[in-house]
Amino acid sequence: MEINREHIRHLLFEKIGGTISEADNELVDDAIRNDSEIAALWQEIQNEFDPPHNTFLAQINEDEDWKKVKARLQPRKGGNARLIRLRLLQAAAVVLCISIAGIFYLSSRSTNKQPGQQAAAIPSLSPASKSPELKLADGSVVNLSETGKKVNAKGIKLSLGNKQLSYATGNDKDIRWASLQVPAKLDYQLLLPDGSKVWLNASSSLRFPYAFYGNTREVYLEGEGYFEVAKNAARPFIVHAGKTDVKVLGTSFNINTYETNKTITSLVEGSVLTTAGSDSLKLMPGRQAIYSNTAFSTSPFEATNVLSWMQGISYFNNTKLSDISAIIARWYDVKVVIEDQATLNQTFSGAINKHKPIQVFLTNIAISSGIQSRIDEKGTIYLK
């Protein structure tokens, strides 16, 4: 039987990280015994990670890491939602533990790494220099970096929690708008006055009214956000995102507008109607609508992959290096330059944990694929 080397390479990193299943471990062991190329790669991986990496593995406190992941999500009602949350937490916890040790499973479709080649030392990047900001209707800006603080602004009372903003307004029914802007590296949560919750990913913004009046509840999204909309059959909730409008009554869904001329709406619970011009598409849970240029398409999606950004994990499967570099730029607030154009379309499968240093990712991509990196004095990352 022909060996799928790409799949085996993926399993080798699970094996070294201790997350491989019994059946897959038997498959890998058989491949190591019968394929000299696989055997050589396995020996090289062991050489890269022994002994300091394995020593560090033994120091991982999985209980503490599990608590950190669970703390990122709030429990909510609904059997399907609980199942999705459980799967998401389980997967995030596994990747969290592996990435802490610097061994998240990363494999490339092709490798140009020479035997014995070592990953170059990578300097550190500076911590986040910007904070989430709230721009009010009068043009004033509130820095949201302080927690446990209450702010009385013009016409609005703000309560700043841990990466979370809630607010209240008076009886003034003038329609005024605010904009929550989340910079690169960070994420933030907003509690709207109707009880709806919004999680914003890095380099994202949400424009919303101080209060919802009239027959609809409308907001404007740029970037990526996850919504848990409070039910109100009489007042639909509408998200304007890219060239699409997503209309809901009460549901949970994710919208991604990072890519130019492309909007992806992924429905977790309930139902939504997404429109663009004269075209419309109604979604059921577990399906996503992709609007690209002038047309809709739909497909199933894996909630673990789509929602994992809320825990600071980004999964990618057969993803081009050019697309991965865009994630790095958002999550680490850096410029990424791919110097070798031949690697632009090289694809990878794995995960990035943005709560860990970028050096973890860069070192492991060098180990698995031979792609080298350097960071200049301005913090720009160069890949080749």
Does the N-terminal peptide bond of residue 51 adopt cis geometry, omega within 30 degrees of 0? Answer: yes
345 near 104, Cβ under 8 Å? no
Cross-strand pairs, 283: 272
Instruction: Output b/e per residue, 274-312; b: 16+ Cβ within 10 A.
Output: bbbeeeebebebebbbbbeeeebeeeebbbbbbbbbbbb
- Closest C-alpha among 352, 348, 360 to residue 322: 348
The Cα–Cα gap between 360 and 373 comes to 12
Say which residue the tokens 């080397």 belong to. 5
Cross-strand pairs, 222: 205
**Confidence at residue 288, expressed as pLDDT on a 0 to 100 scale:** 97
Q: Which whole-number Å values give the CA distances from 176 to 5, 155, 167, 208, 294, in the listed order?
A: 58, 9, 14, 9, 32
Strand-pair category, 204-209 with 177-182:
antiparallel
Is pLDDT above 90 for 242?
A: yes
The Cα–Cα gap between 98 and 13 comes to 10
Tokens of residue 107, six digits: 């494999």
Q: Averaged over 348-377, what is the pLDDT? A: 83
Is pLDDT above 90 for 351?
A: no
Q: What does pTM read for this prediction?
A: 0.70
Taking the chain, what is the end-to-end CA distance rounded to the nearest angstrom? 35
**Confidence at residue 93, expressed as pLDDT on a 0 to 100 scale:** 42
Q: What tens digit of pLDDT does each residue of 135-150 get?
A: 999 898 989 987 777 8
Q: Which whole-number Å values give the CA distances from 123 to 53, 115, 166, 237, in the listed order?
A: 19, 24, 38, 46
The Cα–Cα gap between 273 and 363 comes to 43
**Domains of the chain from N-terminus onward:** 108-127+312-384 (3.55.50.30), 133-182+188-305 (2.60.120.1440)
Q: What tens digit of pLDDT does each residue of 81-91 get?
A: 544 444 444 44
Q: Give the model's confidence band at 128: pLDDT under 50 very low, under 70 low, under 90 confident, else very high.
A: low
Rg (CA), the chain: 23
The Cα–Cα gap between 257 and 114 comes to 39
The Cα–Cα gap between 2 and 295 comes to 40
- Closest C-alpha among 120, 94, 99, 115 to residue 45: 115
**Confidence at residue 19, expressed as pLDDT on a 0 to 100 scale:** 60
Average of per-residue pLDDT values in the chain: 79
Q: What tens digit of pLDDT does each residue of 22-70 get?
A: 888 899 899 999 888 888 888 877 765 544 444 434 443 444 444 444 4
Q: Which residues contact 133 (CB under 8 A, 6 or more apart)?
A: 141, 142, 143, 144, 180, 181
Is pLDDT above 60 for 109?
A: no
